[in-house]
Amino acid sequence: MNKLENIVSLCKRRGFIFPGSDVYGGMAGTWDFGPLGVTLKKKIMDEWWKYFVEQRDDMYGIDAAILMNPKTWLASGHLDTFADPLVECKECKSRFRADKIADGISESVTTEEFLATHTKCPVCGKENWGAIRKFNMMFATKVGAVDDDSATAYLRPETAQGIFTNYKNVVDTIYPNLPFGLAQQGKAFRNEISPRDFILRDRECSQMEIEYFVAPSTWEENFEKMRALQHDFLENVMGLSKDKIHEYEVPASDRAHYSKRTIDFMFDYPNGEEELMGLAYRTDFDLQNIARESGKSMEYRDKITNETFVPHVIEPSIGVERLFLAILSNAYTEEEINGDKRIVLKLPENLAPYKFCVSPLLKNKPELVEKAKEVFDKLRTKYINVTWDDSGNIGKRYRKQDEIGTPKCIVIDFDTLEDDTVTVRDRDTTEQVRVTIADI
């Protein structure tokens, strides 16, 4: 399996992802997306939005504020339960998330269970631990000019609550038929104890979530439908290998406080099997909490039966960065062709940052450059995501485009000036064919 270090190196070398605040020495758990990375990330998010929202008549989008009334997090249970097990080494004072440094334990691990694993400190190698404490992962901030408890707010740890707090607004304004879903994409913030594994576990991420509101008696059938949709999207739209995706039925002891059933979709990353996304049955937990704390009814009146009830919710939730890394690691390939080693990103064409790369065979021949510019302008007008490269020899250009995942390279040579044909070279097979410009 490809090493994570190789992918991290490629990301920085080719402008996909840089360490956050790199010029100042970086900041743990933060990453900046470069020119190619932001294009790939946008394509991932656009494909998700198109698949789950634009192509359906039962989905609606919202974009809620990141800063929310603190009552939101009291009602949702995040103030009391959104916490990880923190353990501190008494020798070197390093702090870790207990369930990530010891084998065979879960997030609900007790101090006794952790000590029984005889885990040594990853920093100093000693085995001298303090008691496990629950560490709330929400980032607190102050809102306004007053610096007291009344001014405390939180950066949202999930996008879901922005959907739930707008449920009544949507029902009152467009009154959609049940079942219906509300979808949102946006930033979420989690104060991870020990961010690690590149963009797999960071402190600032982008999420894509749906809250799908259903009649209580229909939750199981809707859960199964949403389950099948996740597989279809991951495998057929994102191009992930089916044999690298595994379902994990989360036991009750490890489920989030709001969930009655959760399936984690696991993926074989270079560093091992990790969670890619989750599918949860949240019951009416969130809407009932909002009704209790706000004093406002969250009931839905069925248009046919006139029955009133609080809907239950099915939630597919996926982190963009986790999906981004899954796509990169799935596409990353090291291979040998005719005795030469090459690195190639075999990205699906719908996700590749560039669809074509246009090059003149020789950059010191004005007639070739002029013709290549003409072809470049035509293709960019038609396809948008087209790049230009005239640096180095043609072999080096091919290798560069292989590394960034460009499916096709188009080379303008002297024959082009005679018959308007170009060489089109395929990224995956390296085969080259002559094609007329009009046929591209």
Q: What DSSP letter does each residue of 56-95 carry, written as one string?
A: -SSEEE----SB--THHHHHHTHHHH-EEEEEEBTTT--E
Whole-number Å distance between alpha carbons of 225 and 191? 33
Band of the pLDDT at 200, cuts 50, 70, 90? confident
Full-model pTM: 0.89
Distances (CA, A) of 73 to 126, 234, 255, 398: 38, 31, 18, 51
Band of the pLDDT at 2, cuts 50, 70, 90? low
- The predicted-structure confidence for 316-364, as pLDDT tens digits, reads as follows 999 999 999 999 999 999 988 777 889 999 999 999 999 999 999 998 8
Three-class secondary structure of residue 154 per DSSP: strand
Once rounded to an integer, what is the mean pLDDT over residues 224-234? 97
Q: Compute the half-sphere exposure of residue 174: CA atoms within 13 Å on the CB side of its CA.
A: 15
Helix (H) or strand (E) holding 291: helix 285-294
Phi, psi of 178 (to 5 degrees): -85, 140
Once rounded to an integer, what is the mean pLDDT over residues 20-44? 93
Q: What pLDDT, on the 0 to 100 scale, is given for residue 162?
A: 95
Three-class secondary structure of residue 325 per DSSP: helix
Q: Which of 94-103, 361-370, 411-420, 423-432 has the lowest mean pLDDT?
A: 94-103
Whole-number Å distance between alpha carbons of 249 and 222? 17
Band of the pLDDT at 1, cuts 50, 70, 90? very low
Cα–Cα nearest to 241, from 220, 259, 267, 273: 267
Residues 6+ positions from 406 with CB-CB distance below 8 Å: 352, 353, 354, 355, 356, 357, 387, 427
Whole-number Å distance between alpha carbons of 163 and 160? 5
Helix (H) or strand (E) holding 368: helix 366-383
- The predicted-structure confidence for 112-156, as pLDDT tens digits, reads as follows 889 989 999 988 999 999 988 888 788 888 888 777 767 788 899
Once rounded to an integer, what is the mean pLDDT over residues 429-438? 92
Once rounded to an integer, what is the mean pLDDT over residues 173-193? 93
DSSP letters spanning 188-232: EE---SS-BTGGGB-SEEEEEEEEEEE-GGGHHHHHHHHHHHHHH
CA angle 253, 140, 292 (to 5 degrees): 60
Residue whose structure tokens are 């090459």:
342
Query: Which amino acid appears at position 187 of this protein?
Result: K
What structural domains and CATH numbers belong to the chain? Answer: 4-64+156-329 (3.30.930.10), 354-439 (3.40.50.800)
